Amino acid sequence: MMSDSFPVRFISWEESARLARTLAAHVKGDKSKLPDLVIAIGRGGFVPARVVCDELLTTSLTSIRLEHWGPGARRKERAVVRFPLSCSVADRDLLVIDDVSDTGDTLSVAISYLQELQPSRIRTGVLHHKASSRLNPDYYAELVKDWNWIIYPWALHEDICGFMEIELTSHPVSLPDLHSILLKRYNLHVATDEMVSAVEDLIRLGKVTKKGELLFAYEDGITTSES
């Protein structure tokens, strides 16, 4: 986690679709020809890339999977390619899509990996481009000037579980107190049914246990995955 407290912003399905259409409009508005192949960076780029393809009227979509961010803003030391491409991209014009450019590391690793496969061109696009990113994508739907952690609808449950694990690692708390902590530290409004569902899943996965009204996290049960 980056700090003890930071702002969290939730993006709805409707807003996500709107941003993806805006991203596609920027691609179409470019004087360059449309890409031969759209590559989604998994997992965050799956939905945006599909919407972009719909707007571009292309079925040429594939993916690679990179890992960098885990649930609840846990950051890996460096992004790595977990599942590479399964097709040749030599001499092809590529458009790489992800949900957000945060540090820029994920896009940088993706570009480095793809350059070795000798495409004719690589362009990048994201829904949200954070001003703090070390890499500027070719296209973005929205510039984020003030840093915040963005929760997309396709990662809502996972991120809530991640934030809950982080807080429970510090000390055991009751569910109502945990709800208050998430609201105070991250301005994260979580419905009661979603909180209950998250706790049930964390218990099922062996990451959290409940004793009376208190919830405890298993330190060695915390895992990370990409976003």
If DSSP states are collapsed to H, E and C, what string results for the chain?
Answer: CCCCCCCEEECCHHHHHHHHHHHHHHHHHCCCCCCCEEEEEECCCHHHHHHHHHHHCCCCEEEEEEEEEEHHHEEEEEEEEEECCCCCCCCCEEEEEEEEECCCHHHHHHHHHHHCCCCCEEEEEEEEEECCCCCCCCEEEEEECCCCEEECHHHHHHHHHHHHHHHHHHCCEEHHHHHHHHHHHHCCCCCHHHHHHHHHHHHHCCCEEEECCEEEECHHHCCCCCC
pTM: 0.86
pLDDT for res 225: 35
Tokens linked to 4: 């003890």
What gap in Å lies between CA 31 and CA 110, rounded to an integer?
24
Q: At what angle do helices 175-186 and 192-204 cross, to 10 degrees?
A: 110
CATH 1.10.10.10 location in the chain: 155-221
Antiparallel, parallel or unpaired: β 149-151 and 208-211 = unpaired
Mean pLDDT of 14-41: 96
What gap in Å lies between CA 163 and CA 10, rounded to an integer?
14
Tokens linked to 135: 């890499």
Mean pLDDT of 54-62: 98
Asked whether the beta carbons of 53 and 45 are under 8 A apart, the reply is no
pLDDT for res 69: 52
CATH 3.40.50.2020 location in the chain: 8-151
- State the architecture of 155-221 in CATH terms: Orthogonal Bundle (1.10)
Phi/psi of residue 220, each to 5°?
A: -80, 0
Antiparallel, parallel or unpaired: β 37-42 and 61-70 = parallel
Confidence of residue 75 (pLDDT cuts 50, 70, 90): low
Mean pLDDT of 96-103: 96
Neighbour count for residue 184 (Cβ, 10 Å): 10
pLDDT for res 110: 95
pLDDT for res 157: 95
pLDDT for res 82: 86
Residue with tokens 């530290």: 185
- Class of the CATH-defined domain 8-151: alpha beta
